[in-house]
Chain A
C-alpha cells in the first residue's frame, strides 16, 4: 500500500533530551512537510522540503531540525531548545505544483515530562 508512515505513534521523553520523529513515504512525492498541531490552533508548518538535500524553515522552525538525505525520508528532531515540545506532529507529502493534495501520516504524539 502506498502512503506515509510515521513512527512511533506515541513518544515520551524527559525534558532536555533531543528526540527524532520518523517519517517515510512510498508515494514518490518530491515535497515533504512537518506540521505541529496544538488544540484550537490548527496545523502550523515547521519545515518543508522540495528536493533531496534541501529544506526550508516554515513558520515555527525554532527548536527543530530536519534532514532530507533520501527522497522517501524526512526525519524531524525536536531539540532541547524547543520550549514547549509536547504536541501532535504530522508529516505530509505531495507532488510539486499548485493545487496539489497533501497526504498525511497518522501522526506522532510527543509528550515531554
Chain B
C-alpha cells in the first residue's frame, strides 16, 4: 500500500535559518506527491507537487522539495525561515482508485519559528 511517513512531529528553527521537513514514501510505482501547509484553525493550502517531471520542485513562499527515488524521499526545504512560516505541514501521496484520486496524508510536522 502507498503511504507517507513524516519523520518529525515538530521542528524548531530560528528566523533566518534553513528549514528541513522530512518525508519518506512507500509506493509500488512512481507516485505523485504533494506538500500542503495549514495555519492554525484554517484549511490546507498547496505548497507544491511532484508529478514525475523535474525532480526538484519549486513551490510558493520560497519552499522547494526534491524527489529522490533511490531514497524514497520528498523532503521540503526553505533557505531562510520567516515567522509567518510557523504552521503545520503535511506530506501527501496521491493514489488512483477506480478513476478517483485519493489523497493519503502523513501525520504532519509542526514548524515552530523563533525570533
Contacts and interface: CB of A to CB of B under 8 A. Distances in A.
Interface residues of A, number: 29
A94 B32 CA distance: 15
A102 interface: yes
A43 B49 CA distance: 18
A107 B46 CA distance: 16
Q: Helix, strand, loop or mixed for chain B's interface? A: strand
Interface residues of B, number: 23
Interface stretch (B11-19, B63-71, B72-80, B96-104): B96-104
A41 B49 contact: no
Contacts of B45: 104
A104 B43 contact: yes
10 contacts: A43-B105, A45-B102, A50-B100, A90-B44, A94-B101, A98-B51, A98-B96, A106-B42, A107-B42, A107-B43
Interface of B: 9, 32, 34, 41-46, 49, 51, 90, 94, 96, 99-103, 105-108
